[in-house]
């Protein structure tokens, strides 16, 4: 397991270098001059030139990229061109806000999607199965921003039970977490149903039933445990997607996370902030994939032996 961890970590280094290079180039293709935006519409050319020199935007791109990598190697994410403050402290606070939202959303998605998938598999071709299928299709097909607006309209405007946005209490977390978790619930429900149907047809399940074991024990103790490997793969993939999907959710619900921070940075052409946020997203994806790979050995002893 240690060898697998080390291999994955070493393989992640070239991937992160590619990400830094692509993001560095792409953000500079966004129309608009950061110095001009920061200086204001009526600023003189001399002020704009001074700002470009201060942030080294007048240097060739290879020089800028080399300086960026050198700072990154020291753990320095740079300073925001909009506020002149270090990016790392602000990003750390925003990251934990986004992580809080993503964890709550994946728990909702796993609970709702897992239950719907199990019900659909154990009661195949029944009304419950059709209802679970409709739930999965609705969850996958509904855009995150649209479901967020509908939830605000119903539970914050028509029925003022929950706040429409902001943060501070558990009530502020409910609507954005539900909105973000609905999409993941649909995907998890489909995968759980498919994996459970395949597992319920295996020989060991028929043997367990032939021994007279209760159906609940057969489903949850034997079938579900063996069906978890593909489901965990989808869970890991969905958690990474929820981190990225939080951009829309945080904007709709005014949640002070990385997604909203990224939107603000793009509007200001704040290159250091944009680069830092995308890098954190990339590292998060790699970390989630590593955790998923390691979890295979805990769920399936055959994988652990390999």
Architecture of the domain defined by 89-269: Orthogonal Bundle (1.10)
State the pLDDT at residue 304: 54
For 254, the token pair is 């005014």
Region 43-51 average pLDDT: 80
Beta bridge partners of 79: 86
Band of pLDDT at residue 300, cut at 50, 70 and 90: low
Average pLDDT along the chain: 82
State the pLDDT at residue 297: 67
pTM above 0.95, yes or no: no
Task: Using DSSP, state whether 5 is helix, strand or coil.
Answer: helix
Write the pLDDT tens digit of every residue in 143-164: 877 888 888 888 888 888 888 8
User: Could you tell me the residue ranges of all domains in the chain?
Assistant: 89-269
Distance CA 179, CA 126 (A): 28
Band of pLDDT at residue 4, cut at 50, 70 and 90: low
CB 52 within 8 A of CB 45: no
Q: What is the chain's percent helix, strand, coil content, to nearest 5?
A: 80, 0, 20
Region 250-276 average pLDDT: 85
């Amino acid at each position: 397991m240690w060898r697998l961890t080390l291999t994955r970590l070493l393989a992640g280094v070239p991937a992160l270098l590619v990400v830094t290079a692509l993001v560095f180039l792409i953000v500079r293709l966004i129309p608009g001059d950061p110095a001009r935006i920061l200086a204001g519409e009526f600023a003189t050319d001399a002020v704009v030139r001074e700002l470009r020199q201060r942030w080294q935007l007048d240097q060739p791109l290879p020089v800028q990229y080399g300086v960026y990598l050198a700072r990154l190697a020291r753990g320095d994410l740079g300073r925001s061109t909009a506020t002149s403050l270090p990016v790392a402290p602000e990003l750390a606070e925003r990251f934990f806000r986004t992580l809080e939202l993503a964890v709550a959303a994946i728990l909702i998605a796993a609970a709702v999607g897992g239950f719907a998938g199990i019900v659909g598999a154990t009661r195949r071709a029944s009304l419950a199965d059709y209802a679970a299928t409709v739930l999965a299709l609705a969850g996958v097909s509904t855009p995150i921003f649209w479901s967020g607006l509908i939830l605000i309209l119903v539970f914050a405007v028509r029925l003022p039970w929950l706040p429409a946005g902001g943060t501070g209490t558990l009530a502020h977390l409910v609507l954005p977490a539900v909105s973000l978790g609905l999409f993941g619930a649909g995907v998890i429900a489909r995968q759980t149903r498919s994996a459970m149907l395949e597992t319920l047809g295996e020989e060991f399940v028929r043997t367990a039933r032939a021994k007279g074991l209760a159906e609940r024990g057969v489903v949850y103790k034997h079938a579900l445990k063996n069906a978890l490997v593909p489901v965990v793969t989808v869970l890991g993939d969905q958690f990474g997607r929820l981190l990225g999907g939080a951009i829309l959710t945080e904007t709709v619900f005014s949640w002070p996370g990385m997604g909203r921070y990224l939107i603000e940075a793009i509007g200001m052409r704040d290159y250091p902030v944009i680069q830092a946020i995308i890098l954190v997203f990339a590292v998060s994806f790699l970390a989630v994939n590593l955790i998923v790979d390691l979890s295979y050995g805990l769920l399936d002893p055959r994988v652990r032996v390999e």
